Structures are given as C-alpha cells and as structure tokens.
Amino acid sequence: MSVEVRIDPGRISRLLRLRGGLAERGLRKRTEKVARIAQRKAPGTMGAYLSWKIQSGPRGLQGVIVCDHPAVHYVLNGTRPHVIRPRRAKALRFDSGGRTAFAKVVHHPGTSANDFMGEALRAGH
C-alpha cells in the first residue's frame, strides 16, 4: 500500500495569509504583547494613547502599533536645548518643588530620547 502526498505551495501560502489563519493569530499575539510592553514603558500617561491593529500591507499582514499622544515625537527623539516663551499669557506658570513659579522666559535644557517603542519591540521579540 502506498500513500501519495501532494504539497501545493500556492494553497499553503494562501492559508497562511488568510484573515484568522495561523499567521494572523501569531502576528496578533506578538503585536498585542509588544503593545502591552510599550504601554508599561511609556512615560506618564502616554501609554493610554497606544493602540494596535493587524492590517494588510504590501507584503501581507502586518502588526501596527500607534501612539497618538501629542508629545510622542519629542519623547522618542528627544529635544535640543530651547527657549520657551508664553504664547498668549504674560508669563509661564509651573510648579517646582511644591511651589508655583512664574517666568517670562524659560531656558529649557532639552531632553534625551526615550525610545520606549523600540525597546518594547526588542523586548517582545
């Protein structure tokens, strides 16, 4: 008695790319894991602005993690030293050491980059 097995690479490829298929389930699991790590590593309330999804891309399915916090660019890339002046008010108001302070100009020293998204991607690998 003999058994013949035929492998259809096209069909296997289609099965792997199908929505709800094996590849999508694995991609969904990994994307969600990376998003959870990024939420934990994000500074302040930035983690609440993270979302993720699986979408079709030019080379098949892809996991996408988005942070739409207004300051995410400055956190990820850091800032150079810069001057801050009030836009509409006469002075800037901020809290420092439990006291309220006012200033017409602040010379901000800049911030170093915090690539929490890249760190999450590497940790979720």
pLDDT at position 117: 96
pLDDT at position 97: 87
How far is Cα 125 from Cα 108, in angstroms, rounded to an integer?
36
pLDDT at position 44: 94
pLDDT at position 17: 67
Whole-prediction pTM value? 0.75
| Spatial CB neighbours of 65, under 8 Å, sequence gap ≥ 6 | 31, 34, 35, 38, 50, 51, 52, 117, 120
For the chain, residues with pLDDT lower than 70 are 14-17
Contact 55/61 with Cβ under 8 angstroms?
yes
pLDDT at position 125: 78
User: Could you read off the pLDDT of 35-60 as tens digits, one per residue?
Assistant: 999 999 999 999 999 999 999 888 77
